[in-house]
Amino acid sequence: MEAQKFTEANKPENSEIQTFTFAYPQAELILESGEKLGPITLAYETYGKLNAQKSNAILILHALSGDAHAAGPDGWWSNLIGKGKGIDTDKYFVICSNVIGGCKGSTGPSSTNPKTGKPYGLSFPLISIGDMVQAQKHLIDHLGIERLLAVVGGSMGGMQVLQWMVSYPERISSAIPIATTLKHTPQQIAFNEVGRQAVMSDPDWKNGDYYDSSPPSKGLAVARMIGHITYMSDTSMTEKFGRRTRADKEPFKFAADFEVEGYLRYRSDNFVKRFDANSYLYITKAIDNFNLLNGHSLGSVFKGLKAKVLVLAFKSDWLYPAYQSQETVKACKLAGVDASYCEINSTYGHDSFLLETKQETQLIGDFLKAVANGNGNGNHT
* Whether pLDDT at 5 is above 60: no
Amino acid 14: pLDDT: 41
Q: Which of 110, 155, 174, 217 is catalytic?
A: 155
CATH 3.40.50.1820 domain range(s) in the chain: 18-183+291-374
* Whether pLDDT at 84 is above 90: yes
Tell me which of 14-18, 177-181, 325-329 is least confident.
14-18
Q: Which CATH architecture has domain 18-183+291-374?
A: 3-Layer(aba) Sandwich (3.40)
Among 1.10.1740.110, 3.10.20.30, 3.40.50.460, 3.40.50.2300, what is the CATH number of 188-288? 1.10.1740.110
> What is the model's pTM?
0.93
Instruction: Give me the long-range contacts of 192-196 (CB less than 8 A, separation at least 24).
Output: 192/284, 192/285, 192/287, 192/288, 193/288, 194/223, 194/226, 195/222, 195/223, 195/224, 195/226, 195/227, 195/280, 195/284, 196/223, 196/280, 196/281, 196/284, 196/285
Q: Which of 350, 351, 352, 380 is catalytic?
A: 350
Tell me which of 134-143, 152-161, 254-263 is least confident.
254-263
Mean pLDDT across 264-274:
94
Amino acid 265: pLDDT: 92
Q: Is 90 a catalytic residue?
A: no
pLDDT band at residue 318, thresholds of 50, 70 and 90?
very high
Average pLDDT, the chain: 93
Cα 105 to Cα 18: distance, rounded to the nearest angstrom = 9
Amino acid 4: pLDDT: 36
Mean pLDDT across 210-224:
98
Q: Is 350 a catalytic residue?
A: yes
CATH 1.10.1740.110 domain range(s) in the chain: 188-288
Q: Which of 67, 276, 317, 351 is catalytic?
A: 317
Q: Is 15 a catalytic residue?
A: no
pLDDT band at residue 380, thresholds of 50, 70 and 90?
very low
